[in-house]
């Protein structure tokens, strides 16, 4: 079985083509600066690398470019798109609806649209990538793998905020947690290295990058994490502020006459280590 794994960001697309029979990565690459003048594709296969610099106006064009190079006579690794049995999509926010990887249907797409407000930087490009693959590869199963799913085992004492309860019931305001696919994988690797089943270990995971989070994993299940309602919460990150006194948001918006969108940009893209 050959699976194409796709991770769409706001202006990027990472991919790997994997033969699941032997877990071999047949090819992988990165499409950068989608929608910008200097966009490019970097493709790697069999120890070789090729860069293509051209206009890539949107994610659908990016997906088409990836499929073209995977089947290219010179640097491709499959003869045609028919060789791809399924496409897996990393989706950042699945809300409370998804506690496991899910076959993407029309109903699932509607649920992802609803979650977009909770991850405005991440879910919209994830959805664009799914739609692009569906348009180019109709009939090929598409599967969503959710960053939030691993954290659905957290107890209420870990995910509830000190806010009026109706905000949870009506608006689904709660801690969701992110980087779940990473935290699940790392916990499994720790168990392998230690030679102990993950169900018998208590682990603190640290996912460190431009976006960072910690997770407390008890006997294979997440019981707490640092990220919250959105990936903005938790520890200080590259450009994200992490946890701050919530009154700061109101104060800065009032003093500098910022809109909610401007304040969101300030906290997500101009803060953290950069700030």
Same domain flag for 142 and 82: yes
Alpha-carbon distance of 204 to 57, in angstroms, equals: 41
72: pLDDT strictly greater than 80 = yes
Q: Which residue has the higher pLDDT, 126 or 164?
A: 164
Question: Could you read off the pLDDT of 216-242 as tens digits, one per residue?
Answer: 999 999 999 999 998 899 999 999 999
Alpha-carbon distance of 205 to 25, in angstroms, equals: 26
Choose one of 225, 245, 268: the last residue of a domain. Answer: 225
Same domain flag for 1 and 137: yes
- 49 domain residue, yes or no: yes
- 241 domain residue, yes or no: no
- 111 domain residue, yes or no: yes
> Could you give the residue numbers annotated as active site?
147
Choose one of 146, 162, 195: the last residue of a domain. Answer: 146
State how many domains the chain has. Answer: 2
Q: Domain containing 122 — which CATH number?
A: 3.30.420.40
Same domain flag for 142 and 20: yes
Return the percentage of the chain with pLDDT > 90, whole number.
73
Choose one of 146, 169, 193: the last residue of a domain. Answer: 146
Taking CA atoms, 116 is separated from 14, 83, 99, 208, in Å, by 20, 32, 17, 24
Same domain flag for 34 and 121: yes
Domain that holds residue 103: 1-146
- 216 domain residue, yes or no: yes
Residues 6+ apart with CB under 8 A from 233: 175, 226, 227, 242, 243
Same domain flag for 187 and 114: no
- 126 domain residue, yes or no: yes
The pLDDT assigned to 232 comes to 92
The pLDDT assigned to 10 comes to 72
- 269 domain residue, yes or no: no
Task: Determine the distance from the C-alpha atom of residue 254 to the mean position of all C-alpha atoms in its chain, rounded to a whole number.
Answer: 33
Specify the pTM: 0.81
86: pLDDT strictly greater than 90 = yes
């Amino acid at each position: 079985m050959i699976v194409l794994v796709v991770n769409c960001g706001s202006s990027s697309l990472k991919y790997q083509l994997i033969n699941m029979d032997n877990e071999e990565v047949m090819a992988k690459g990165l499409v950068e600066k989608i929608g910008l003048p200097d966009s490019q594709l970097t493709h790697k296969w069999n120890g070789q690398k090729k860069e293509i610099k051209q206009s890539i106006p949107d994610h659908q064009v990016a997906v088409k470019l990836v499929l073209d190079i995977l089947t290219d006579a010179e640097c491709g690794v499959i003869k045609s798109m028919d060789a791809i049995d399924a496409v897996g999509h990393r989706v950042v926010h699945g809300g409370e609806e998804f506690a496991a990887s899910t076959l993407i249907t029309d109903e699932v797409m509607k649920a992802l649209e609803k979650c977009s407000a909770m991850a405005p930087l991440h879910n919209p490009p994830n959805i664009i990538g799914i739609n692009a693959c569906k348009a180019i590869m109709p009939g090929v199963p598409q599967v969503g793998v959710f960053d939030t799913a691993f954290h659905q085992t957290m107890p209420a004492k870990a995910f509830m905020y000190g806010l009026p309860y109706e905000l949870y019931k009506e608006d689904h305001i709660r801690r969701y947690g992110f980087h779940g696919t990473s935290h699940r994988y790392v916990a499994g690797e720790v168990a392998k290295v230690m030679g102990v089943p993950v169900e018998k270990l208590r682990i603190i995971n640290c996912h460190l990058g431009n976006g960072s989070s910690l997770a407390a994993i008890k006997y294979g299940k997440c019981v707490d994490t640092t990220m919250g309602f959105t990936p903005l919460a938790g520890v200080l990150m590259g450009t994200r502020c992490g946890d701050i006194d919530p009154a700061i948001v109101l104060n800065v918006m009032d003093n500098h006459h910022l809109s909610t969108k401007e304040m969101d940009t300030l906290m997500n893209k101009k803060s953290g280590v950069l700030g």
